[in-house]
Structure 1
Amino acid sequence: MPVIVAVLACLLMPALLIILCQRIKILDKLGVVVLSFGLGIALSGFLDLTALFSGGDLTAAQISLTEISIALALPLLLFSINVKHSMRMAGDTMKSMVVAVVAVVIVTVAGAFLFKDALGENIWQIAGMSVGAYTGGGVNMAAIKTAIEADQNIFITMNTYDILLSAIYLIFVMTIAKSIFGLFLRPFSSSKEGQGEESENEMAHMADETANSYKSLVKLKAFPQTLLSIVFSGVAVGLALGFSSLLPESVSSVATIVSITTFGLMGSFIPFIRKLTNSFQAGMYLILVFCFAMGSMTDVRMLAELNYDLFAYIGFILLGSMVIQAIICKMLKIDIDTFMITSSAAIMSVPFIPVIAGVLKNREIMLPGFAAAIIGYALGNYLGVLVAYSTRYLLGL
């Protein structure tokens, strides 16, 4: 019963935040996405949630809730996107993603030389797994760990620090990153400018970035279409799970995400599905559930027992790669939104693309962001193994 209460809290807390944002303008300016994630972290920091809600049962419920919410959210968000319109920005996005990947590799290898004495002979394993994690995702880190036969204890510790540092990175991106990097990167220029009323109508459902956009979810007249969009999303997830179950377990997680994205995009080409009322808003609400649940899983107590050298190395990779990417993006005249979505695509992977797009208040960038993150998944394993053995050779280990 306590776990059921916790799950219900995760499902309903975003609704409470939406109501507060609708009534308090300063909260609305912060954004419901930021508030959902921040409140989850705050509750985790001030309350012992595992003790309050039966320990391991709560963790399992939180993990399941994040997986289900993001799986259903992705098709809902993609259903309502005009693919042709969104892909007009793909050129800059792909360039920026290549820059992001190159930046991660450069900083990781450079950091290996700096932290060699502190982290010892296993630095090459840490470097390889880091590149996999921050060009693809956690799945890539696990795959590289197996490929290079990395130390299990190091892998577990890196996973723990990855969760904490990724949360810090996400908070940074969701709050002040755009203000900082926007000082020297050009602003985003919408691809719909000058393309007529029809193009604007295609993006109308994404135009309202305030908490008021969620009001349509409680309109009874729209409920049948909202429910139908969720059903179609469930079908897309079911098909993706069925397809990935036919593949080797080592690639099933990546295959599931890619398949969900693919089936969501396929649905967007069907006019009836693309025009369903509230598909986008329902998807964004599930993103809020995902953010709150993720925030509540952040264990800030990990700071008490840090391996400071390993923590510093991973932090060096995250900060350094972002700075180098920003410098190169400036040289290539890539805009701030494209820089941030591709940095997030590399560091955080597919599930966080809608979160970042929401923070940027730029839904147009979402589909190119998905494409960039999927490319990161594909490259992560190759680059991770290559960097691991190259670093081992260069360091003479």
Structure 2
Amino acid sequence: MVSDPLAVLVLLAAVVVVSLKLEARFPLFRSLGAALVGILLGMVLSNAGIIPGMSSVYEFLHSTGVSVGIVLILLSVDLRTMVQAGPSMLAAFGLGAVGTATGAIVAGLMLQDAIGDETWKLTGQFTGTYTGGGMNFAALGQAFGTSSNLFTAAIAADVILTAFWMAACLAVPVLLGKRGGSEAAAPSAEVSDKPMTLERLLYSSGRPLLLADAAALVAIAAGTVWGAGALARVMPFLPEVLWLTTLSLVAAQVPAIKRLAGAAVLGNYLVLLFLASNGAQSVVANIVRVGPAVFYFACITVACHGVVLFGFGRLFKMDLGTLAIASQANIGGAASAMAMASARGYGDRLLPGVAVGLFGYAVGNYLGFAVAALMQNLLSS
């Protein structure tokens, strides 16, 4: 097994290269998208024992790496194009939260005998983490005093389910979208006479990337990530990702920064690396070690979330892309919503997806506490 961090990074970078080449050359992989192909290849490498399920490279990509990617992509966002899809995204997010809470309660009632006295804690934690991302999981676990064994097992199950669900959401617009429709179309890297929208900027800057531009982008992105962290430490009542998004969007409206070429391309590359590492962390053998009951709990919760969100969403004739991004905002948080929007080229829904992801951080703990209290009462009655 390759364990050296630099060697692991080399293989992840190779996964991204292969994914992009397959997407460009073959219709099947083009419909799947480089992001989904990268996740699957990462899973293959880790489950075949070629790369580890845990690495400092993954930790970097899931923290600083994806943060820099978010900044670079947001530097290409024009706020004037973001007014659409807001209400529908919020409605989809609400549906997803209801589905998550329902699924966690159903899972708790079904598996209470297998999990034991801490079932209500797990119910609250999975409600919180699948409403607004993993940040809520740790906070609720600490508040509930969840045992270390259950906490560790649940985290492992969460990592696996989050990666699988990202892959599922990337595939949904292809599998359920109308044949030949815009929802099933993959982004194109080819340059044409059409305006360079964010979807196209993710694959091509449209003009040469100059060294001066690249240097400026690195300085801006690194400075933004550092500044967001500093502000979060001074004013901890707001999460770091909120500061990160705000600073990035403010910078993106500066004319001189708007003229810099290549921000979205570089950011998209980091997002693809992040997704490949997400797949690599999904070692299927971990399912045995975390305990079937906890894994089933996560599966039931996510399955109910998906049924409610996509079932009622399609019943109300909501857009598949919006539903998929809202689902990622629920399950993985703002970063996953960003990754989903970037990977599928949903430029007009990128900022609304990040916004509801941030909203999930705020409401996830409250909903988690409420559902945990409800489950505790149900189990004690």
Candidates 216, 220, 224, aligned match of 1:236? 224
Q: Structure 2: give runs of 5+ residues left out of the alignment.
A: 184-193
The corresponding residue for 1:178 is: 173
- Does 2:101 correspond to 1:101? no
Check 1:223–1:32 CA distance in 2 against 1; reply closer, same or farther (3 A cut): farther
Q: 2:253 aligns with which of 250, 260, 269?
A: 269
Question: Is 1:260 the equivalent of 2:244?
Answer: yes
| 2:369 paired with 1:385 | yes
Give the C-alpha shift of residue 19 in structure 1: 4.3
Q: Which amino acid aligns with 1:238?
A: W
Moved beyond 6 Å, runs of 4+: none
In the other structure, the counterpart of 1:46 is 48
Q: Which moved more, 1:290-299 or 1:92-101?
A: 290-299
Pair 1:227-2:215 in alignment: yes
- Matches of 1:389 and 1:16, distance apart in 2: 48
Structure 2-normalised TM-score? 0.87
Q: Is the 8 A contact 1:79 1:265 kept in 2?
A: yes
Residues 247-276 of structure 1, C-alpha deviations (whole Å, 9 max, x = no match): 45xx7xx72212111111111221221232
| Richer in helix (by share) | 1
Give, in whole Å, the separation in 1 of the partners of 2:218 and 2:169: 29
* Partner residue of 1:159 out of 155, 160, 168: 155
Q: 1:81 to 1:285 in 2, by over 3 A?
A: same
Partner-residue secondary structure (3-state), 2:293: helix
In the superposition, the TM-score normalised over structure 1's length comes to: 0.84
1:364 — aligned with what?
A: 348
Query: What is the deviation of 1:375?
Result: 0.5
Cα distance in 2, alignment partners of residues 148 and 352 from structure 1:
26
Contact 2:5 2:55 in 1 (8 A): no
Task: Deviation per CA, 1:141-176: give whole Å up to 9, x if none.
Answer: 11111112222221111001111122221222222x
Contact persistence 2:102–2:301 (CA under 8 A): no
Specify every segment of 5 or more residues in structure 1 that has no aligned partner in the other structure, as ranges. 189-199
Over 3 Å counting, the alpha-carbon distance change for 1:310 and 1:66 in structure 2 is closer
State the partner residue of 1:207: 200
Instruction: Calculate the aligned-residue CA RMSD, in Å.
Output: 2.7
1:339 shift after superposition? 1.0
C-alpha deviations, 1:31-86, integer Å up to 9, x for none?
22122222211111112434xxxx9xx71232123322201011111111111211
Contact 2:22 2:29 in 1 (8 A): yes
Residues 181 and 326 in structure 1, CA contact (< 8 A), matched pair in contact too: no
Distance 1:311 1:325 in 2: 21
Percent identity over the alignment is 21
Check if 1:323 corresponds to 2:307: yes
Residues 155-164 or 35-44, more deviating: 35-44
Q: Is the 8 A contact 1:187 1:336 kept in 2?
A: no
Which one of 331, 334, 340 corresponds to residue 350 of structure 1? 334
Q: CA deviation at 1:122?
A: 1.6
